[in-house]
Amino acid sequence: MDLRAKRVKELFGYARTLAREQGVGAMAARAAGFARRRLLGRRGRYWPGKQALAAQRAADTASFPLISILTPLYNTPPAYLKAFLESVLAQTCPRWQLVLVDASDAAHAAVGALAQKYAALDARILYQKIENGGISRNTNAAAALAGGRYLALADHDDVLAPHAVYCMGRAIQSTGAAFLYSDEALFTQSPRAAHVAHFKPDYAPEYLESCNYICHLAVFQKQLFEAVGGERSACDGAQDHDLFLRMIDTMQRADPAAAPYHVCQVLYYWRVHAGSTSGGTGAKPYVVTAMLKAVDDHLAATGKNAHAEQGLFPGTCHVVAEFVPERVSVLIPNKDHIDDLEKCLHSLYAKTQYDDLEVIVIENNSTDPATLAYYKTLPRRYENCRVVTYRGAFNFSRINNFGRRYATGKYLLLLNNDIEVQNGDWLRQMLSTMAASGAGVCGAMLRYPDGSVQHAGVITGLGGYAGHSHKYHKGGGSGYMFRLATVQDFSAVTAACLLVRASVYDAVGGMDEAFTVAYNDVDFCLRVRAAGWKVVWTPYAELIHWESRSRGDDETDPAKKARADAERARLYEKHGRTAILRDPCYNPCLSIDYEDFRESGDLRRLKTVSD
């Protein structure tokens, strides 16, 4: 089979998988995006224009730090190595040094010959032949030769974007950051025709424990690298993940608020080929073992009573923490709809594997006499279940604040009456996630009855205000960059199933009662984060949300529209429009018009966003 036929077969396979996991609509959208990228391939979808690159070359960068690029060589295909070397020479900023350490076999002497040829052309390229000690030892050997104040890691078969050194140098100069990382893209033949980009969130500690989302391009102080002892051979295969965790731990011991700085630019192009891990860890199975060790060592170093297990997909892991079981008070607002409530309560009591629960049903203006009769049966049918009566017009925030007065648990679980429990360990998973992360709030994976995603975290800015990550995505997939399959940080989670420490709920004043119907959970979570607590989400707690996929729109009712407009305005007023539209757990190069992590349609944004 020739290369073209093989590529067509791969694309059809990808299309079938996409249609199965996300539906035909998503497949069509991605196909359209692929067509656009093909049309833009020659000039590069993420590649800055000639004028921008010329301006960078003309800029005074003498005050930028010298960045030493560390690149171990091992039996590198000459064509790949040449492409990499040319990409370094093409940098718009001259403040770089390239350190090549060559551990290639004798049969691959062409690698050294090519590297030495380029070293003779430019004094900034250092070459040294070494004995092969494995990727970590080889990288450390390169670091020992480096003269830069900052180091960067680059693989021998990949390509740097022409503005990589410039953007990193400018970011270091403006922020003083000790550790920085950028977005990246994958390619098969030409980086200008990259077929997918990895647009990353700002520093997300729980996500990083679950998978190495930072990856390329990473730049950090040489002093920091040396302080942690460089890379460890015991973690070969996941050596960069291990290095990043240890460097962050060191940074945060000196300053708990320290974090890697995210440069929102595609500065690195990762070549996809049979021997690389860019398409997954299948090519190198030992990566999983090394990753678990890296994360376990990090957990031990940070004093967490937790351990890492293999995750839902290769390349991911799941941090499981021990915790002391404490009472959880479940708050369920309800008005009539006793069939929904009974389904919720029956599943909660029949399936939940957790002993210390109290359930508080908050009655809110029911009109059906059967509802009150049903309430009277609850205390004898369900242990520690009672009904309290809220009087007043519907106000979701006020109802939950009212119910909180009756709760005695250390944790509060806000739960909609149309939630159905599926798996017995869902609550233990949420509590374990909170214990591992120290989070103030934890959300769950909520699915529609057909198995598609209803909620996998809330991203502010979607639709202009807030929306659900991966909404309507078909079940079983890993999502964008494993974001459906890993515990991770979010700006908010839905109050349809929201676990919060009672002390945190009280400390932030509960829910803002000016948010009668919408955005109360978004506002609440943003205030929790502003108070210094994390908001996390776990895919390991799955529940069914019987919310209709075709609910009525508030925009068609004048009174409801006025209320919705007022709540939107309040969200901007309290938190700032810019902050809402720039969710640090998302990426400005991703669309705010769709919930499926597709790229922004604004090509200028893809090429120029940097902060």
**Distances in whole angstroms, Cα of residue 236 to Cα of each of 135, 156, 287, 318:** 6, 16, 8, 20
Task: Give the other-Cβ count within 10 Å of 430's Cβ.
Answer: 26
Which superfamily, per CATH, for 328-546+557-581?
A: Spore Coat Polysaccharide Biosynthesis Protein SpsA; Chain A (3.90.550.10)
pLDDT interval class at 41 (50, 70, 90): very low
pLDDT computed for residue 39 by the predictor = 40
Name which of 43-52, 88-97, 127-136, 390-399 the model is least confident about: 43-52
pLDDT interval class at 601 (50, 70, 90): confident
Find the helix packing angle between 286-301 and 239-254, rounded to 10°: 10
Average of pLDDT values for 356-383?
96
CATH code linked to domain 50-301: 3.90.550.10
Q: Is the pLDDT assigned to residue 465 strictly greater than 90?
A: yes
Average of pLDDT values for 175-190?
95
Q: Is the pLDDT assigned to residue 9 strictly greater than 50?
A: no
pLDDT tens readout for residues 487-538: 999 999 999 999 999 999 999 999 999 999 999 999 999 999 999 999 999 9
pLDDT computed for residue 558 by the predictor = 86
Q: Do domains 50-301 and 328-546+557-581 have the same CATH topology?
A: yes
Q: Is the pLDDT assigned to residue 357 strictly greater than 60?
A: yes
pLDDT computed for residue 285 by the predictor = 75
Q: Is the pLDDT assigned to residue 279 strictly greater than 90?
A: no
pLDDT interval class at 2 (50, 70, 90): very low
Q: Is the pLDDT assigned to residue 199 strictly greater than 70?
A: yes
Phi, psi (degrees; rounded to nearest 5) at 516: -70, -45
d(CA 150, CA 173): 12
Half-sphere exposure of 232 (CA within 13 A, CB side): 19
Locus of tokens 């995210």 = 262
Name which of 275-279, 355-359, 513-517, 532-536 the model is least confident about: 275-279
pLDDT tens readout for residues 557-588: 888 899 999 999 999 999 999 999 999 999 99
Question: Could you tell me the residue ranges of all domains in the chain?
Answer: 3-40, 50-301, 328-546+557-581
Residues 6+ apart with CB under 8 A from 255: none
Phi, psi (degrees; rounded to nearest 5) at 27: -60, -45
pLDDT interval class at 348 (50, 70, 90): very high
Average pLDDT, the chain: 91
Q: Is the pLDDT assigned to residue 22 strictly greater than 90?
A: no
Q: Is the pLDDT assigned to residue 142 strictly greater than 60?
A: yes
pTM above 0.85, yes or no: yes
pLDDT computed for residue 27 by the predictor = 53
Residue 228 token pair: 């942690």
Q: Is the pLDDT assigned to residue 8 strictly greater than 50?
A: no
pLDDT interval class at 475 (50, 70, 90): confident
Average of pLDDT values for 71-82?
97
For the chain, percent of residues with pLDDT exceeding 90: 83
